[in-house]
Amino acid sequence: MAFDIEMIKKVYAAYPERIAAARATVNKPLTLAEKILYTHLWKGSASEAYTRGESYVDFAPDRVAMQDATAQMALLQFMQAGKDKVAVPSTTHADHLIQARLGASKDLQEGINKNNEVFNFLSSVCDKYGIGFWKPGAGIIHQVVLENYAFPGGLMIGTDSHTVNAGGLGMVAIGVGGADAVDVMADMAWELKFPKLIGVKLTGKLSGWTAPKDVILKLAGILTVKGGTGCIVEYFGEGAVSLSATGKGTICNMGAEIGATTSTFGYDDSMRRYLNATDRADVVVLADKVAEHLTGDTEVYANPEKYFDQVIEINLSELTPHINGPFTPDLATPVAEMKEKAAANGWPIEVEWALIGSCTNSSYEDLTRAASIVEDAVNKGIQPKSILGINPGSEQVRFTAERDGLIDTFNKFESTKIFTNACGPCIGQWARPGAEKQEKNTIVHSFNRNFAKRADGNPNTHAFVTSPEMVAAIAISGRLDFNPITDTLTNDKGEQVMLAEPTGSELPSNGFAVEDNGYQAPAADGSAIEVVVNPDSKRLQLLSPFAPWDGENILGAKLLIKAEGKCTTDHISMAGPWLQYRGHLDNISNNCLIGAVNAFGGAINSVKSQLDGSVDEVPKVARTYKAAGVLSVVVGDHNYGEGSSREHAAMEPRHLGVCAVIVKSFARIHETNLKKQGMLGLTFSAEADYNLVQEADTFNFTDLAAFAPGKQLSLDLVHADGSTDSIKLNHTYNTQQIEWFKAGSALNLIKTQNAL
C-alpha cells in the first residue's frame, strides 16, 4: 500500500471539478502541465487564466521532500516558523553525507559515525514535526521518492534541484530552496511564476545501445544549460509511451541540467507497471478513475505548435548514444564522433574510473542493462581497463539486484567497487585515491552534473556524462572514444571481439524485495520531543534572523567580486568537503564564492579589498567589509547560480553582508533563493553594462524607496576616478517579494504573520 493514500485520494477526488473549472477559464485544450498546475491552486478552483512566463501564482503542493544536505537549513528555518507539525506529508532523506571510499558496508558505518550529530538532529526534528525520515543507506532521495511517493498528476516540491525526477511518474515535481519548503510545511501558499511550456514529441522507439539518457543528453545539446529556464518540458508521443517509468525519470531528472522548472510525462502503462511493482496498486486504481485528466488533451498532442511555446521532436529510432562533457552537461557528442572531437580538444582518452549511479540512473533497469554488458565481457574473456564503481539508488534496488545476481555479475570484475546506496561521487563524496595530485584525467559516469571539481575535487578531472550501458562499455574498453557499435576489443585469447548490445529488465520478474528499507516513521505526537543543538557545534547552528531593510537607499556599497563566465552554485557554495557545514551558516560561509573567477585578473578565490587594497580570499574580504559595516555587491555573468537548489549560495553572501547580486541572467531557483533571504537579485537592463563595473567602484542604489513590481531600479556606479555611470537594473520582484526584502527575509515575514 502506498504512503499517504488519503492525501492522494483527496487530490484525485478534486480533479474532475477543478479540471472543469480550468477548462472554463482557460477556454482551450489543456496540456498535462496546465492540468496539474490548475488543479493545485492555493485558492482551489481556477477562476482566471494565467499568463505563462508572467503571472505569479500561489500553489498548494501535495508533498515536500528534503535531503540531508539541504534539510538542515530548511528545518532550522522551519523550527523558527512557530508550527507544531508540518502541514503536508514531508520526508527527509539521508543520502548526501556518506562518502564513497572502501565500499558499501564500511563506508556506510563510517558515514554514520562521522555525521552522527547531523543525522541525530535530522531524525529528531523529523520525529518532532511529523516528517518521515529515510535513514542513511536507505537510498537517494529521488529514487526513494519515485519508489514510494510520486503519483501521476501530483504536485510536489523538494529541496534539491533533481526533485524533477518524479516527472517519471507523471508529477509536476519542482526543486526549490529550503525557504520555499518552509512555506509549504508551514501551511502557506507556495508561489511560482506560471511556467512556459516546451513540448517534446518523441517518435519511434529506442533500440540497441541507445538509452533514455540519450534523449536528455541530446536535448541538452539542443537547448543548452539555460534553454529550459522558466519552462516545464512535457514529453508526449508514441516514443514517450514506449519508455519505462524509470527511463522517464532519467529524462526528467536531467531536465534540471537545461534549467527547466520541471519535466513530465502523461500517465500511461509504464507508470501502471511501475506503481504495481512498487506495491502501489491502490494508486493505480485511483489514478485509472481520473486517467483522462492525467495526460495532455488529444488536441494538444495532435497540434502541439498551437499549445506549447516551443516544440521539439526527437525520433528515438534515429537517436544514437551520446556522451556529454567535459565540465558542462550540455556539450553533447554522439559516441560515433567522440574519437575526432576528443583528439581535437585534447581530452584525455584513457579512463580510470567509470561510475554508475546517482538519482539519474540507478534503477533496477539501469543495473540490469549495465550488468548485461559486464556479463557479456566476462563470457568473451575481456578484462576491464577502468574501475567500475556502482551506487545503487535505493536499498530496495540494491537488495533486489543482489537477490537477482546483478551485484555478483558486477563483482566478476575484480576491481569493481559497490558503494553505499547514496549520492557518493556524484556530489563529491568520493575519496578517490590520487585526486589530490590534480592530474589531467578523464572519468565517465551516468550522473547528471559534471561541473569542474564536482566528483573528486580535482579541477583537471574531465568528467563525461553518459548512459549506464555506455559507462559499462567504456569501463571495459578503458577509452573515452570507444564506440561499441563499431569497435572491437581484444580478449584473453588475443581475438578481436565485439560487445553485444545491452539487454535488461524494466522490472524484476520476481518482484522487488527488501528486508529493511530504512524508513523511520515520525512520532504521532512530537510535542514532547526536544531538538537539541549544541551551541559549540561546528556543524549545526541555530539561525538568527537577518536584519530588515532600514528604509534608506543603499549607498557606498563595495564590489566583493565581479564573477566572469560560468558561476554555478558549485562555484558559489562548493559541496564535497563543505557538505559537513550545511547546518552551520557561519562556518559554511567560509566557502562563499571561492570557485568563482574574478573578472579582474582571472584568479579564483582572490579579490582586492577596497578598504586597504590588500588581496585576499573572497570570504575573508567579505568578512572585513562586514566588520567595517560596509555592504558589498556581487556581479555576475549569464545563468548565475545554475545547478543546485542549495540556498546556502544565497544565505552565505547574505550572512557576509552582500546586499545585492547583479547579473546578466539568473537560474530560476537561485534567483528565488536570493529573494527569500532578503537580498536584491537584479539583472542589468543592458547586458553590456556588466562591462562598466570596475574593481574599485562604489555602488549607490538611488531609488530603493520606489522599489515596485515591474519598475526598474537605478544604480550609480561611482568609479575610482570620480566619474559615474548611472545604469538601470531589471528585477522580477512582485509585491510580496518586495515585502520579503523589506522584512529582511521571507522567514522574518512568516514569523510576524504567525505571531499575529
Cα–Cα dist 336/590, whole Å: 44
Residue tagged active-site, from 52, 449, 571, 584: 449
310: part of which helix (H) or strand (E)?
strand 310-315
- Residue 140 interacts with, from ligand SF4, ligand MIC, none (CB under 5-8 Å by kind): ligand SF4
Binders of ligand MIC in range 163-202 (CB under 6 A): 175
Binding piece for ligand MIC, criterion CB under 6 A, among 41-49, 393-401, 640-648, 744-752: 640-648
For 589, phi then psi, to 5°, come to -65, -15
Q: DSSP for 155-189?
A: EEEESSGGGGGGGGGT-EEEE--HHHHHHHHTT--
Q: Which residues, at least 6 apart from 684, have a Cβ–Cβ distance to it below 8 Å?
A: 662, 663, 664, 690, 727, 729, 730
Report the partner that residue 69 touches, choosing among ligand SF4, ligand MIC, none (CB closer than 5 to 8 A by kind): ligand MIC
State which of positions 93-132 bind ligand MIC (CB under 6 A).
96
Stretch that binds ligand MIC, among 125-133, 241-249, 433-441, 639-647 (CB under 6 A): 639-647
Q: Estimate to the nearest angstrom the gap between the alpha carbon of 501 and the chain centroid.
A: 31
Quick note: the x/- pattern for ligand SF4 over 90-119, rule CB under 6 A, is ------x-----------------------
Taking Cα atoms as reference points, which of 33, 133, 162, 714 lies closest to residue 423? 162
Backbone angles phi, psi at 78, to 5 degrees: -60, -40
Query: Which entry of ligand MIC, ligand SF4, none binds 227, CB below 5 to 8 A by partner kind?
Result: none
CA–CA separation, 59 and 141 (whole Å): 23
Query: Which position among 644, 645, 665, 745 bears the catalytic label?
Result: 644
Residue 174 C-beta: closest distance to ligand MIC, Å:
11
Taking the least distance from each CB to ligand SF4, the nearer of 129 and 447 is 447
Q: How far apart are CA 239 and CA 316, in angstroms?
A: 7
CA distances (Å), origin 266, targets 61, 138, 157, 238, 278: 19, 28, 19, 11, 19
User: Binding ligand SF4 by CB under 6 A: which of 271, 388, 426, 599?
Assistant: 426
Which of ligand MIC, ligand SF4, none lies near 358, with the C-beta cut-off 5 to 8 A by kind?
Answer: ligand SF4
Active site annotation includes 123:
no
What burial letters (b/e) apply to 473-507, b meaning 16+ CB within 10 Å? bbbbbbbbbbbbeebebeeeeeeebebebbebebb
- Minimum CB–partner distance for residue 410 and ligand SF4 (Å): 19
Report the residue from 39, 99, 161, 632 that binds ligand MIC according to the rule CB under 6 A. Answer: 161
Q: Does 201 bind ligand SF4 (CB under 6 A)?
A: no
Span interacting with ligand MIC, options 303-311, 521-529, 643-651, 677-685, rule CB under 6 A: 643-651
Which residue in the list 4, 62, 160, 180 is annotated as catalytic? 160
Considering only the stretches 160-168, 226-234, 552-560, 613-621, report the one whose residues sit in contact with ligand MIC under the rule CB under 6 A.
160-168
- Please identify, using beta-carbon distances, which residue of 98 and 314 lies nearer to ligand SF4: 98
Residues 326-365 that bind ligand MIC (CB under 6 A): none
Q: For this structure, is 644 an active site residue? A: yes
Q: Is 96 a catalytic residue?
A: yes
What nine digits make up the cell of 14? Answer: 478534486
Please identify which residue in 18, 83, 128, 162 interacts with ligand SF4, judged by CB under 6 A.
162
Contact 492, 383 (CB under 8 A): yes
Q: Does 70 bind ligand MIC (CB under 6 A)?
A: yes
CB of 647 to ligand MIC, least distance (A): 9
Binding mask 16-55 for ligand MIC (x = CB under 6 A): ----------------------------------------
Query: Of 221-229, 322-330, 637-645, 718-726, which part binds ligand MIC (CB under 6 A)?
Result: 637-645
Q: Of 617, 561, 625, 564, whose CA–CA distance to 591 is shortest?
A: 617
Asked if 64 touches ligand MIC (CB under 6 A), the answer is no
Cell of 392: 545503487
At 418, the amino acid letter reads I
- With binding defined as CB under 6 A, does residue 246 bind ligand SF4? no
Q: Does 69 bind ligand MIC (CB under 6 A)?
A: yes
Tell me the CA distances in angstroms from 393 to 160, 215, 361, 390, 690, one per residue in order: 16, 21, 8, 9, 43
Among 545, 563, 486, smallest CA distance to 749 is for 545
From the list 218-226, 345-353, 403-411, 642-650, the region that binds ligand MIC by CB under 6 A is 642-650
Name the segment binding ligand SF4 (CB under 6 A); options: 292-300, 421-429, 463-471, 511-519: 421-429
Candidate list 40, 52, 63, 96, residue with the active-site label? 96
Name the packing angle between helices 735-743 and 746-755 (round to 10°): 90
Residue 146 interacting with ligand SF4 (CB under 6 A):
no
The reply on whether position 575 binds ligand MIC by CB under 6 A is yes
Per-residue cell: 728? 538601470
Position 160 contacts ligand MIC (CB under 6 A): yes
Q: Residue 17's CB: how many other CB atoms inside 10 A?
A: 12
* Least distance in angstroms from the C-beta of 561 to ligand MIC: 21
646 belongs to the catalytic site: yes
157 neighbors 172 (Cβ within 8 angstroms): no
**According to CB under 6 A, which one of 107, 127, 160, 689 is a site residue for ligand SF4?**
160
Nearest to 189 by CA among 177, 201, 180: 180
**Active-site residue (options: 68, 95, 107, 366):** 95
Look up residue 223 and give its three cell numbers. 537547448
* One residue of 226, 623, 646, 676 binding ligand MIC per CB under 6 A: 646
Q: Rounded to the nearest whole angstrom, what is the least distance from the CB of residue 192 to ligand MIC in the complex?
A: 17
DSSP string computed for 690-733? GGG--TT-EEEE--GGG--TT--EEEEEE-TTS-EEEEEEE---
The residue among 69 and 245 lying less far from ligand MIC, judged by its C-beta, is: 69
Query: With CB cut-offs between 5 and 8 Å by kind, which of ligand MIC, ligand SF4, none does residue 180 bind?
Result: none
Contact characters 390-409, ligand MIC, x per CB under 6 A: --------------------
Taking the C-alpha atoms of residue 207 and residue 213, their distance in angstroms, rounded to an integer, is 13
Task: Please give the span between the terminal C-alpha atoms of the chain, in angstroms, as a whole number.
Answer: 41
Among positions 224, 448, 477, 698, the unique one binding ligand SF4 when judged by CB under 6 A? 448
Task: Cell 542604489: give the residue.
Answer: 701
Which partner in ligand SF4, ligand MIC, none is near 201 (CB below 5 to 8 A by kind)? none
Tell the smallest beta-carbon distance from residue 192 to ligand SF4 (Å): 21
- The set of residues, in sequence order, having a beta carbon less than 8 Å from that of 667 and lying 6+ positions away, is 226, 229, 259, 639, 640, 641, 642, 643
CA 289 to each of CA 240, 295, 634: distance values in angstroms, whole numbers, following the listed order: 22, 13, 52
Residue 576: CB minimum distance to ligand SF4, A: 11
Helix axes 746-755, 178-185, angle to 10 degrees: 20
CA dihedral 94, 98, 104, 107 (to 10 degrees): -130
Would you count residue 644 as binding ligand MIC (CB under 6 A)?
yes
Of the candidate residues 31, 224, 250, 358, the single one contacting ligand SF4 (CB under 6 A): 358
CA 164 – CA 448 distance, rounded (Å): 12
On the CB side of 539, CA atoms within 13 Å amount to: 18
| DSSP one-letter string for 186-226 | TT--EEEEPPEEEEEEEES---TT--HHHHHHHHHHHHTTT
Binding map of ligand SF4 across residues 300-339, x = CB under 6 A, - = no contact: ----------------------------------------
**Residues of the shown chain interacting with ligand SF4 in the complex, contacts defined by CB under 6 A:** 96, 140-141, 160, 162, 358-359, 423, 426-427, 447-448
- Catalytic positions are 95-96, 160, 449, 644, 646
Which chain residues interact with ligand MIC by CB under 6 A?
Answer: 69-70, 96, 160-162, 175, 427, 449, 575, 643-646
